Amino acid sequence: MNCTEVHPQKDLSLDFCGLEHCKSGHRYGPLARGHYILHIVLEGKGQLTYRQRTWDIGANTLFLVPEGEETMYVADETDPWYYCWVGFKGSRAAEILRNIGFHQDNVVLRVKDAKKLEEKVRQLIDYPEMNLEDGLMRKGILLQLLSMMMKDTEKDSDRTSLFDTDASYGEYAIAYLRNHFREKVRISELAEKIGISRSYLMRIFKEETGVSPQEFLIRLRMNYGMHYLTHSNMEITDIARFCGYEDALAFSKAFKNRFGMSPTQYRQM
């Protein structure tokens, strides 16, 4: 049972939706898709693999297939899952998913009542799509569904279940810094995101890497800076911004403190 959208809208458009009782071992992927797909697991079990990490997933769980990212998911052999899904895209999609609680390092969230979410998906399936008016009505139902997810996700309980060892905390922090080094990163905010204190994060991060999170971030930025100074014709201002610095002056100061020469001098070597 499924549906498709014939009047797409740029900010948020429903591409398709459906429900399925999967057969034992039924597999999707590994495959990258051109839209976001949110699955609501209602019964049974299965596994999701994304970015070399695997989650065991049961009922009352959401899992996200991110746009453009390779994922694979497989139904359990003995208790295959029954789920519903919505596929959508648009300029507001990523923002909405962040507000639900998803991010690029965590694509699995628990919900309190998946059956209520299923009812909304069934409304999408049952509502006929024949003209623009119907398309707007379906978009309204999709927004209601996403709003319900924002209220219903158990973000705090998920945080503790997904990061159940010091190694997991450290691995998450490393992955986060690698993916966000171009942004303003505050270690205290990273610790809060994980759900531990700043001092505890500092300790386990140093045990994992041998350096502090701040030093790891600086090294990461400098390594990218050296690479682009050597292997590209990018302006130093552009390299600075790419590496997470507000301007060329801040980048040049950090670079000279690290290597004893300016980025221009390094490029001329």
CATH number at residue 10: 2.60.120.280
Residue-wise pLDDT tens digits, 247-267:
999 999 999 999 999 999 999
Same-domain pairing of 255 and 134:
no
Give yes or no for residue 222 having a pLDDT over 90.
yes
- For the chain, list the strands marked E by DSSP: 2-4, 13-21, 27-32, 36-43, 46-50, 53-57, 61-65, 70-75, 82-89, 108-110
- pLDDT tens-place string over residues 127-137: 755 566 667 77
Contact (CB, 8 A) for 125 and 20: no
234 and 212, same domain (yes or no) = yes
Which of 155, 176, 208 terminates a domain? The answer is 155
What pLDDT is attached to residue 235? 93
Domain that holds residue 258: 163-269
Do 108 and 232 fall within a single domain? Answer: no
Name the residue among 113, 222, 217, 221 with its Cα closest to residue 174: 217
Domain end (from 139, 155, 171) = 155
Q: Are residues 134 and 29 in the same domain?
A: yes
Query: For residue 7, what pLDDT band results from cuts at 50, 70 and 90?
Result: very low
Looking at the fold, whether 168 and 145 belong to one and the same domain comes out as: no
pTM of the model: 0.56
Distances from the Cα of 57 to the Cα of 46, 82, 151, angstroms = 5, 11, 20
Cα(138)–Cα(117) distance, integer angstroms: 15
Quote the longest CA-to-CA distance of the chain: 67
